[in-house]
Structure 1
Amino acid sequence: MASNKHWQDILWGGHTGWSITNTINWLLTTGRTLTDPAVFLKELALKLMKDDANIARIRITLNTIDPEIRASVYTWWRGREEIDVFTPSHGIESTTSYQGSPIEEARNSCRIVRHRLIDNLPTNAHIILQELKNEGMTDYAVFPIQFTDKSISTFIVASDDPKGFSNSDLNKWKALLLYLLPVLEVFSARKTIQSLLNTYVGPSTGQKILKGIVKRGDAELIECALWYSDLRNFTVLTESLSTETMLQLLNAYFEVVTNAVTERGGEVLRFIGDAMLIVFTADELGSIKQACQAALQAAIDANTQLQTLNKELEAKGMPQLSFGIGLNEGKVIYGNVGSLSRLDFTVMGPAVNRTARLEDLTKKLSVDLLLTEEFAQYITQPTQFLGSFNVRGVPTPLQVHTLAQCTKT
Structure 2
Amino acid sequence: MNETGKSAGSPMGLDSVNFDNRCGHFPATNEQEELFAWLIDAGLKGGTVRELFTEFCERLISQGVKLKRGNIALSAIHPQVSAFMYTWRRGEGLVTNTNFLHSEEPGEGWFASPFFFMLTNKLTFLHRRLDDETELDFPVLVEFKNEGLTDWFCQIFDFGWGFEDQTTERNAGLITSWASDRPGGFTDEEFRILSRTIPVFGLAAKGIASFRTARSVLETYIGRETAQKVLSGQIRRGSVDSINAVLVYADLKGFTSLTDVTGQGDLVEMLDQYLDCMACPIEDAGGEILKFMGDGLLATFELSSTEPDEMQKICETALHAAETMMSGIATLNEKRQQSKQPTMGLDIALHVGEVMYGNVGSETRLDFTVIGPAVNEVSRIEALCDILDTRLIASGDFVRAAREAGAALTSCGFHELRGVRAPIELFCHG
Q: TM-score, normalised by structure 1?
A: 0.84
Alpha-carbon offset, residue 29 of structure 1:
3.3
Question: For the structure 1 residues 219 and 134, does the alpha-carbon distance in structure 2 shift closer, same or farther, using more than 3 Å as the test?
Answer: farther
Tell me what 2:201 maps to.
Answer: 180
- SS of match in other structure, 1:185: helix
Residues 177-221 of structure 1: CA deviation (Å, up to 9, x unaligned): 232232222223223322221222122211211111111111112
Maintained 8 Å contact 1:332/1:352 = yes
Q: Out of 115-124 and 194-203, give the one that drifted further.
A: 115-124
Alpha-carbon offset, residue 130 of structure 1:
6.0
Q: Out of 50-59 and 341-350, give the one that drifted further.
A: 50-59
- SS of match in other structure, 1:278: strand
Aligned partner (choices 383, 386, 395) of residue 360 of structure 1:
383
Give the Cα–Cα distance (whole angstroms) in 1 for the partners of residues 277 and 43 of structure 2: 41
1:158 aligns with 2:179: yes
Give the Cα–Cα distance (whole angstroms) in 1 for the partners of residues 109 and 286 of structure 2: 35
Tell me what 1:386 maps to.
Answer: 412
Tell me what 1:113 maps to.
Answer: 126
Give the Cα–Cα distance (whole angstroms) in 2 for the partners of residues 303 and 261 of structure 1: 12
1:59 aligns with 2:71: yes
Q: What's the RMSD between the two structures over aligned residues? A: 2.9
What letter corresponds to residue 280 of structure 1 in structure 2? F
1:315 aligns with 2:343: no
Give the Cα–Cα distance (whole angstroms) in 2 for the partners of residues 251 and 35 of structure 1: 33
Maintained 8 Å contact 1:140/1:158 = yes
1:278 aligns with 2:304: no
Question: For the structure 1 residues 184 and 395, does the alpha-carbon distance in structure 2 shift closer, same or farther, using more than 3 Å as the test?
Answer: same
- SS of match in other structure, 1:240: coil
1:398 aligns with 2:424: yes
Tell me what 1:8 maps to.
Answer: none
Q: Out of 252-261 and 332-341, give the one that drifted further.
A: 252-261
Aligned partner (choices 24, 41, 62) of residue 36 of structure 2:
24
Question: For the structure 1 residues 42 and 349, does the alpha-carbon distance in structure 2 shift closer, same or farther, using more than 3 Å as the test?
Answer: same
Maintained 8 Å contact 1:215/1:336 = yes
Maintained 8 Å contact 1:64/1:191 = no
Q: Which runs of 5+ in 1 are unaligned?
A: 1-17
Maintained 8 Å contact 1:57/1:78 = yes
What letter corresponds to residue 372 of structure 1 in structure 2? S
1:202 aligns with 2:215: no
Give the Cα–Cα distance (whole angstroms) in 2 for the partners of residues 369 and 333 of structure 1: 25
Q: Which runs of 5+ in 2 are unaligned?
A: 1-29, 163-170
Alpha-carbon offset, residue 47 of structure 1:
2.2
- SS of match in other structure, 2:247: strand
Q: TM-score, normalised by structure 2?
A: 0.80
Residues 331-370 of structure 1: CA deviation (Å, up to 9, x unaligned): 2111111111111110111221121111112111121111
Give the Cα–Cα distance (whole angstroms) in 1 for the partners of residues 381 and 36 of structure 2: 61
Residue identity (%): 29
Maintained 8 Å contact 1:227/1:326 = yes
Tell me what 1:5 maps to.
Answer: none
What letter corresponds to residue 216 of structure 1 in structure 2? R
Written as runs of structure 1 = structure 2, the 5 A alignment for 1:222-301 is 222-283=243-304, 287-301=310-324
